[in-house]
Structure 1
Amino acid sequence: MAADVRLSSLKEWDDDQVLSAMSEGNRLALAELYERYWYVLYRVAFQKTKSSEMAEELVQDLFVQLWQKRASLTVRRVDSYLFGALKYSVIDSIKSRIVHEKFQEYQQFFAPQVDSSTEDQLAYSDLLGTIETELLKLPPKTQEVFRMSRFEGQTIPEISQKLALTDKAVEYHLSKALKLLRTQLRDYSFVWLLISFGQL
């Protein structure tokens, strides 16, 4: 009965009351916030990404993170918080997509074609070997973070969540990897630009 009362009364509560209930573990409160804001958030995300699938994913991820951080949230205005968080998610998503596209361009441009000379194939293999060799000099966690970020195009929040690290820790691992590769890939300046593209 108590759940029924809460469900019926949530519609009449203001955002702060609903957020407070959610922070105490009330899933119905989360559903109510989602119902109030998902569409306007989706429209903003769609305008920026031009992708309905990506927009839906960003909004869903936003509310998942809202629930996961419910106990530690400090929010003055719910709408400002949600739109602010969405803004950074959209930026990270676009940067991730650009990095992925640029790396694909690099692969298409530099990968030897079927009729390439043996010399070109060896040069390409040497380049890949150099990258892999240098990465292996790094701690396993740093390698993993770097690969997820630069080769898989995942964002810092995504990596943080999947590896149970803070955003700062992810940034530290990326910085560590980039510092090493910056020195070792001096002869491959174009490749280095692609790898470092999108660095925070």
Structure 2
Amino acid sequence: MRLSSLKELDDELILKALSEGNRLALAELYERYWYALYRVALQKTKSQEIAEELVQDLFVQLWQKRASLAVRRADFYLFSALKYSVIDYIKRQIVHEKFQQYQQTFGSQVDESTEEQLAYHDLVGTIETELLKLPAKTQEVFRLSRFEGQTIPEISERLALTDKAVEYHLSKALKLLRAQLRDYSFVLLLILVAQG
């Protein structure tokens, strides 16, 4: 099927072609919607780079989920998915800003003591080392939950997993960290009880 012939089709038929693995269908949807999506993302994020990245990721996800899509209206689906992507981005920014504030508030205290600084870096290194022992999906679920502050339903939707699967991966990661980070009891407590 040629791209020129796709231009004459409605969304439903384009989505059907997409679900069958037609890359030209993806290109046609991109051509139809990218600019409108980009404008919305730009308005919400105030960053051209972030807006472009969010829209690009949206189409990558659309391609990855093409076989399981049950969508009739591409515009509704794409703008709804973009809304959640923007919300996720804003949440990550909030978490990042809180972490920056924490570092500004307590970082100077850590800098005052070489021993505390070494302990802090040791803890961060230990967490990263222990996480790397886990399967990639378990690592990803843990990072989204504890480092980016996402909820179980949000992670489920983002990774196309059931809530139970997300809970399983989270439980697996926490079990390992509990066993390996006993010496860092206070920080470990913060990690374990942090709400996702």
Q: TM-score, normalised by structure 2?
A: 0.70
Q: 1:112 to 1:138 in 2, by over 3 A?
A: same
Counterpart for residue 73 of structure 1: 69
The 1:53–1:131 alpha-carbon spacing in structure 2 relative to 1, beyond 3 Å, is closer
CA-CA distance at 1:95 after TM superposition: 1.6
Rounded Cα–Cα distance in structure 2 between residues aligned with 1:134 and 1:101 = 21
Is structure 2 residue 33 aligned with structure 1 residue 23?
no
Aligned CA-pair RMSD? 3.8
Instruction: Assess, with a 3 A threshold, how the Cα gap between structure 1 residues 177 and 10 changes in structure 2: closer, same or farther.
Output: same
Shift of 1:111: 2.5
2:35 matches 1:42: no
- Between the aligned partners of 1:148 and 1:72, the Cα distance in structure 2 is 23
- Helix, strand or coil at the partner of 2:134: helix
- Preserved contact between residue 42 and residue 51 of structure 2 (Cα < 8 Å): yes
Q: Does residue 100 of structure 1 match 2:92?
A: no
| Separation (CA, whole Å) in 2 of partners of 1:73 and 1:15 | 13
Task: Give the secondary structure class of the aligned counterpart of 2:52.
Answer: helix
In structure 2, how many angstroms separate the alpha carbons of the residues matched to 1:166 and 1:80?
A: 22
Cα distance in 1, alignment partners of residues 170 and 76 from structure 2: 30
| Structure 1 counterpart of 2:16, one-letter code | S
- 8 Å CA contact 1:99–1:150 kept in 2: the answer is no
The code of the aligned residue for 1:29 comes to A
Matches of 2:126 and 2:88, distance apart in 1: 29
Q: How far apart in 1 are the matches of 2:79 and 2:9?
A: 20
CA deviation string 1:31-60 (max 9, x = no partner) = 110111111111111121111101100101
Q: Which residue is equivalent to 2:8?
A: 12
Aligned residues: 182
Identity over aligned pairs, percent: 60
Match of 1:110 in 2: 106
The 1:68–1:125 alpha-carbon spacing in structure 2 relative to 1, beyond 3 Å, is same
Q: Normalized against structure 1, the TM-score is what? A: 0.69
Whether the aligned pair in 1 keeps the contact of 2:17 and 2:25 (CA below 8 Å) is yes
1:90 aligned residue: 86
Q: Structure 1 residues 167, 99: CA separation in 2 closer, same or farther (over 3 Å shift)?
A: farther
Unaligned runs of 5+ in 2: none
Identify if the C-alpha distance between structure 1 residues 47 and 21 changes in structure 2 by more than 3 Å, giving closer, same or farther.
Answer: same
Change (3 A) 1:18 1:121: same
Check conservation: 2:18, 2:66, Cα contact below 8 A: yes
Equivalent residue, structure 2, for 1:122: 115
The DSSP-based 3-state class of the residue aligned with 1:54 is: helix
Q: Which runs of 5+ in 1 are unaligned?
A: none
